[in-house]
A and B are shown apart, each in its own frame.
Chain A
Amino acid sequence: MTSYILKRLGAMLVTLWLIVTLTFFLMHSVPGSPFNEERTTNEAIQKNLEAYFHLDEPLYVQYGIYMKSLVTFDFGPSIKRSSDSVNAMLERGFPISFELGFITLVTAIVSGLFLGIIAALRHNGFVDYLAMTIAVLGISIPNFVLATLLIQQLAVTYEIFPAATWQSPMHMVLPTLALATGPMAIIARLTRASMLEVLTQDYIRTAKAKGLSPVKIVFKHALRNAMLPVVTVLGTLAASILTGTFVIEKIFAIPGMGRYFVESISNRDYPVIMGTTVFYSAILIIMLFLVDIAYGLLDPRIKLHKKEGR
């Protein structure tokens, strides 16, 4: 197990390095510049700015400088907001995005699993159709439409919740609802499909024959197996939700990380593009790693270590 983890860690670092390198060169190959506004600064000023951010050096030198500071976890200063560093932006934005993402994930997983399970248990019954109708709606309605609808109805017309910004738990309700519906629907459908498959298997019949209670059969025997596909999607889902979602954060004016991903690219704010990409990739890689570990825990037949497998 330990050697497996070490091996994986090594592979993760290589993956991350590849992502950093690719992003770095791709980003610089896109035309445009961070100092590019309708109002033109004169050449002298432009040159000074470029020198300050090492943008006048050859690309490989810039790459070297960047990798050197990256090793010390220093993402550098933002070009657009010169008094702000990328580290500070991440430290500020991530906890908020994480908070929203975490509540959303819990909501989505709990409700998704429930919908999926009861749909599977009442296969082709009314409950099944109802649950799947909700799931299909959840998948087909884009979250920005849902968000606007929620604000218009629950905030403006009925004044139950605040319309936007991120201050109190009350402010968290609408964005969580808007953000959780999509993942909930995905999880519900996956759970239903794999539950249906698992429920017809022999070992479930055996369990039934042994006289186990339905609750025990569902939660102890069926769900554990049925969870595998759900866990698979959870890795990528968690990484993208936890690091902020541009659209929802924009609509609800939540000061999370989401905006940095998008704005940095249109601003050609190179250090911010790199910082957010590295950060997101690191989280994604870690999540995928956790998913692999979780496989082993859920299903003893999946062996993480080759020798144990043989």
Chain B
Amino acid sequence: MKKLSMLLLIIMVFALAACTANENAGTEKKEGEDKNSKKEKILYLNNESEPTSFDPVIGYDIKSWDPLNNLMEGLTRLGKDNKPEGAMAEDWKVSDDGKTYTFNLRKDAKWSNGDDVTAGDFVFAWKRLLNAETGSGAAFLGYFIEGGEAYNTGEGTADDVKVKAVDEKTFEVTLTSPQAYFLSVITNPAFFPVNEKVATENPQWFAEADSFVGNGPFNLTEWVHDSHFVMKKNDTYWDKKSVKLDQVNWAIIDDRNTAYQMFQKNELDVSAIPPDLSEQLMKDDKVKIDDQAGLYFYRFNVTMEPFQNKNIRKAFALAVDQAQLVDYVVKNEHKPAYGYVSNGFEDPSGKDFRETNGDLIKTDVKQAKELLEKGLKEEGYEKLPEVTLTYSTLDTHQKIAEAMQQMFKDNLGVEVKLASVEANVFATDQKALKYQFARSSFIADYADPINFVENFQTGHPNNRTGWGNKEYDQLIKDAKNEKDEAKRYELMYKAEKFLMEEAPFVPIHFYNQVSLFGEGVTDIVRHPVGYMELKWADKN
């Protein structure tokens, strides 16, 4: 009996492993198959979450548009140098007033089902983007087009939208004002064409791999929702000779630790860095860091005390040490932000916008103290009203918030309270101006500094500070109507200086894109503004 139970115990200890080990038969075969096809170039990527939608105008997020950018193509596509190049459009003409663009589509521009890509497909897709019933969050991007905003807000009709198929392969669009960066705006997936015939027959064409019809470098061949999807090189793509990969397998793994472990096992070719390992992995030579046009910042609410006072706002802004936050708190190789517009935008003379306009709010403890004194006097405060700094619940936000709390204490002698709020509630309340001083972020939608500075126009949905100034609004309006690029940049330089002088927010850091790349993986292009390009990617 004693022996028997001892035996039983030993069996039990190994039972878990033993029971399941029997089920392993048959798996090796599958791996064997993969090895046979090694000659094919297959890239293994991780999309982290299920794409919201492959409907170009609905999937308004990175997780949908990163893959979609490789399945479809607009009139233009961003090149390796982040400048727009002809894609579906072979060439184009711009009218003298800079408002009307006439695009000539490629003769060999085809859909993956063999249909021709026509000007009508673009008219169909762009009007669909602007149709309020489509419910696209990206519709505002179409407001550049004459009649676009009116149609989207229900004040105009589809016929008033100035997009036109001159003939089968000629597409014409008229803008509200000359926008030189329009060619880069339309690289955005919201402006991808939609095969009108396919979409009319099956309005849900984008929901499954079987029915998906694209026109990009790759073709969607398999999509198991919430699990993975597969893209294969598209043989009907006009520039298929530039495409080097045969296949891209996208896993959907939202746990970054797991993804990193799979990367270590070579089950993934590219991996994000798990937050807990960032310090040691950032030094790894497999790390690749690319700029991303976007800003992490803190908004003041100028409708709440004490931040109605400009000097108090500036005092708080100058008391924050961005370099310290970036180097010792976030530790993700971000660039500290001393202005609003991120690096990477060139003015007509070829100079970087950020470098030209310089550091507009830079840590200065002495001046911060003086400004606080001045502000207190102006408002007649004996003591500064209580300040609460609010952020949405997340480790990294909390770390930054705590560091800032300490900086305000050390540099201004002000005790700031912290409040962590659930993300969705936070977003709602911030829009309703319920917070005094709250975390925020902005990622550019199109590659022009105007996309940054326009956000602080009075009442703009991205303003969310209560701040507004007529002079500033006029500067933005003028910039939007200016045809001369040099003058337009002058106006934007002026606008940014004006804005930072008023300091309705505190910039913290610019964003970047950090990933580990496996050996032999080359030419995956990530633009500061835009989506992942696998067109030129290779794996050896």
Contacts and interface: CB of A to CB of B under 8 A. Distances in A.
Nearest to B55: A83
Contact of B5 (A38, A122, A159, A177): A122
Contacts of A177: 16-17, 20
Contacts of A184: 16
B258 A253 contact: yes
B24 to A, nearest CB: 5
A163 B5 contact: no
A169 B424 contact: no
Contact of B207 (A83, A106, A163, A170): A83
A193 to B, nearest CB: 18
Contacts of B422: 32, 266
The residue among A30, A38, A214 with the most chain B CB atoms within 10 A of its own CB is A38
B440 A38 contact: yes
A118 B8 contact: yes
Contacts of A176: 16, 20
Given A107-B19, A127-B6, A92 B265 contact: no
Contact of A252 (B5, B50, B258, B429): B258
Main secondary structure of the interface of A (DSSP, over half): helix
Contacts of A40: 431, 461-462
A39 interface: yes
A209 B226 CA distance: 60
Interface string A126-156: 0100110010000000000000100110011
Given A42-B153, A48-B132, A84-B225, A33 B20 contact: no
Contacts of B258: 151, 163-164, 251-253
Contacts, number: 190
B12 A159 contact: no
A177 to B, nearest CB: 5
B228 A41 contact: no
Contact of B53 (A36, A39, A48, A83): A83
The residue among A83, A111, A162, A169 with the most chain B CB atoms within 10 A of its own CB is A83
A111 B12 contact: yes
Nearest to A108: B16
B181 interface: no
Nearest to A252: B258
A103 B206 contact: no
Contact of A251 (B207, B224, B257): B257
B393 to A, nearest CB: 10
Interface stretch (B135-143, B232-240, B499-507, B521-529): B135-143
Contacts of A250: 254-255
A42 B264 CA distance: 44
A45 B136 contact: yes
A253 B135 contact: no
A121 interface: yes
A122 B445 CA distance: 69
Contact of A173 (B24, B132, B140): B24
A225 interface: no
B26 A32 contact: no
A37 B138 CA distance: 12
Contact of B227 (A33, A114, A255): A255
B367 interface: no
A162 B266 CA distance: 11
A131 B9 contact: yes
B262 interface: yes
A171 B20 CA distance: 10
Contacts of B9: 115, 118, 127, 130-131
B254 A253 contact: yes
B251 interface: yes
A303 interface: no
Nearest to A131: B9
B166 interface: no
A93 interface: yes
Given A118-B5, A173-B24, A253-B251, A33 B12 contact: no
Given A32-B424, A33-B424, A93-B226, A134 B13 contact: yes
Contact of A48 (B135, B255, B428): B135
The residue among B258, B429, B462 with the most chain A CB atoms within 10 A of its own CB is B258
A309 interface: no
A92 B20 contact: no
A266 B254 contact: no
Contacts of A148: 257
B82 interface: no
A82 interface: yes
A107 B20 contact: yes
B264 A82 contact: no
B428 A45 contact: no
B259 to A, nearest CB: 8
A127 B1 CA distance: 12
Interface string A242-279: 00000000111101000100000011100000000000
A124 interface: no
Contacts of B427: 32, 36-38
Given A52-B135, A118-B12, A251-B255, A32 B425 contact: yes
A214 B443 CA distance: 72
B326 to A, nearest CB: 21
B428 A32 contact: yes
B22 to A, nearest CB: 9
A49 B152 CA distance: 13
A133 to B, nearest CB: 11
The residue among A39, A114, A121, A177 with the most chain B CB atoms within 10 A of its own CB is A39
Given A36-B428, A39-B137, A168-B27, A255 B252 contact: yes
A81 interface: yes
A170 B24 contact: yes
Contacts of A33: 424, 428
A214 B58 contact: no
B298 interface: no
Interface in A88-110: 88-89, 92-93, 103, 106-107, 110
B423 interface: yes
A87 interface: no
The residue among A82, A107, A127 with the most chain B CB atoms within 10 A of its own CB is A82
Contacts of A89: 225
Contact of A165 (B58, B228, B264): B228
14 contacts: A39-B137, A40-B462, A83-B206, A107-B19, A111-B12, A114-B15, A118-B5, A122-B5, A131-B12, A163-B267, A164-B255, A164-B258, A255-B252, A266-B423
* The 4 nearest A-B residue pairs measured at CB: A32-B424, A169-B23, A40-B461, A255-B226
